[in-house]
Amino acid sequence: MIRDNPQLIFLPFIYKNKNNSRELVVKIYDFEQTDRALPYAKLIDKLEEFFRLDVTVPLRHIHEIKDAHKTLGSFILMPSWIAGKWIGLKTVSVFPNNKERDLPGLHSAYMLYDGQTGVPVSLLDGNVITSKRTAAVAALAAKYLSRKDSSTLLLIGSGQVARLVPEALKAVRPIRKVFVWSPTRKHAETLSSDLYKLGFESYYVEDLQKACSEADIISCATLSTEPIIHGDWLKPGTHLDLIGSYTPDMRETDDACFSSSSVFIDTKEALMKSGDLLKPIESGVFSKETVRANLFDLCTGKHIGRTSLEEITIFKAVGNAIEDLAAATLVMESY
């Protein structure tokens, strides 16, 4: 339990009727407070718990924001709830032209409500929740799908989510060595240096094929629209984690990755949105019916996950509001 935090902000709401007024307080958690309340071991356990519960997750709403001349950006709404307990809503604004104003292009906030009354309870940093739960979901999948002795990670990408993956995986596997590759060499070298300071044996790599042959787990967290990883690079026993692409036009792998692998997904939404899945389905390499299981199946024991040391496993995630709700409730429980 995190206690005695003088920086915690409280926003009062005054509710009035004919007889009296009542003050209800909304707690506001900033970046540091949200981040501190989400250690990976606890977050992974909370995600596993929520994938066993009856959580309602409607399809996300995506709205284009336009003026008279052009599209300014997008506004995304991601609701979820456990009836009678919690209601959560993540809002995401994506305004690509913000770079011209020296502002981030993406902002996110998370609002949590009491599930019995609908009263707002807390406002949290949505960017932290999104990035940390994404890394934690990769680790949750690796708990079921990677070899238990996995110690070498190949990290593809150098963005906010990518840099969190090694620490998240370390909560479930004995990760010691990390190879880092990114389209921008300078970014990969910087991330490799940062990971070294965290205690990892980390290296920037240029030869991806060689790095794939040495890695136990490969984690891709990019926005690539062209394949980066090729199926004939994967050695027996590899676990391939795909958490970057999230639209039909994006992909981080070629079709061959799916020809002899066991494929797992976070939720069924991945089959509708991910180019990594849609492209090989279109080419006939594999079908929706051959997907082994999703996280609900793994966490509830309907599927055991990896079945042999030689099996090549692939996990594709596009993100889901159930993961945001799990993270938000963990923050609430921590203060």
Q: Which of 178, 253, 257, 266 is nearest to 214 (CA)?
A: 178
pLDDT level of residue 324 (50, 70, 90 thresholds): very high
Q: Which of 139, 145, 138 is nearest to 308 (CA)?
A: 145
**pLDDT tens-digit map of 241-279:** 999 888 888 899 999 999 989 999 999 989 998 999 999
- Classify the C-alpha dihedral 112-42-267-214 as positive or negative: positive
Q: Where are the beta strands (DSSP E) in 188-255?
A: 201-204, 217-220, 239-242
Do the beta carbons of residue 129 and residue 324 sit within 8 Å? yes
Q: Which DSSP string do the residues of 13-76 spell out, in sequence order?
A: EEEE-SS-EEEEEEEEE-HHHHHHT--HHHHHHHHHHHTTS--B-PPPEEEEEE-SSSEEEEEE
> How much is the pLDDT for 7?
57
Given the DSSP bridges, would you call strands 71-82 and 177-181 parallel, antiparallel or unpaired?
Answer: unpaired
Report residue 88 CA to chain centroid gap.
17
**Domains of the chain by start residue, with CATH:** 9-129+323-334 (3.30.1780.10), 137-320 (3.40.50.720)
pLDDT level of residue 4 (50, 70, 90 thresholds): very low
CA separation for the pair 225, 49 (Å, rounded): 34
The predicted model gives 166-185 an average pLDDT of 97
Q: Is the pLDDT at 9 greater than 90, yes or no?
A: no
> How much is the pLDDT for 189?
97
To the nearest whole number, what is the mean pLDDT of the chain? Answer: 92
Q: Is 181 helix (H, G, I), strand (E, B) or coil?
A: strand
The predicted model gives 283-296 an average pLDDT of 95
> How much is the pLDDT for 3?
45
Tokens linked to 146: 């990677």
> How much is the pLDDT for 6?
44
Q: Is the pLDDT at 179 greater than 50, yes or no?
A: yes
> How much is the pLDDT for 17?
59
CA separation for the pair 80, 190 (Å, rounded): 37
Tokens linked to 263: 């494929």
Q: What is the CA radius of gyration of the chain?
A: 21
**pLDDT tens-digit map of 15-37:** 555 666 667 788 999 999 999 99
The predicted model gives 198-221 an average pLDDT of 97
**% of the chain residues with pLDDT over 90:** 79
- Classify the C-alpha dihedral 143-144-145-148 as positive or negative: positive
CA separation for the pair 75, 206 (Å, rounded): 37
Tokens linked to 159: 């963005």
pLDDT level of residue 12 (50, 70, 90 thresholds): low
Element (H, E) at 278: helix 275-282
CA separation for the pair 18, 309 (Å, rounded): 69
The predicted model gives 309-327 an average pLDDT of 97
Backbone angles phi, psi at 25, to 5 degrees: -110, 130
Do the beta carbons of residue 265 and residue 316 sit within 8 Å? yes
Q: Is the pLDDT at 14 greater than 80, yes or no?
A: no
> How much is the pLDDT for 20?
65
> How much is the pLDDT for 57?
96
Question: Among 24-28, 90-94, 107-111, 175-179, where is mean pLDDT lowest?
Answer: 24-28
The predicted model gives 315-321 an average pLDDT of 95
Tokens linked to 226: 């062209």
Name residues whose C-beta falls within 8 Å of residue 6's C-beta, 6 or more positions apart in sequence. none
**pLDDT tens-digit map of 302-313:** 999 999 999 999
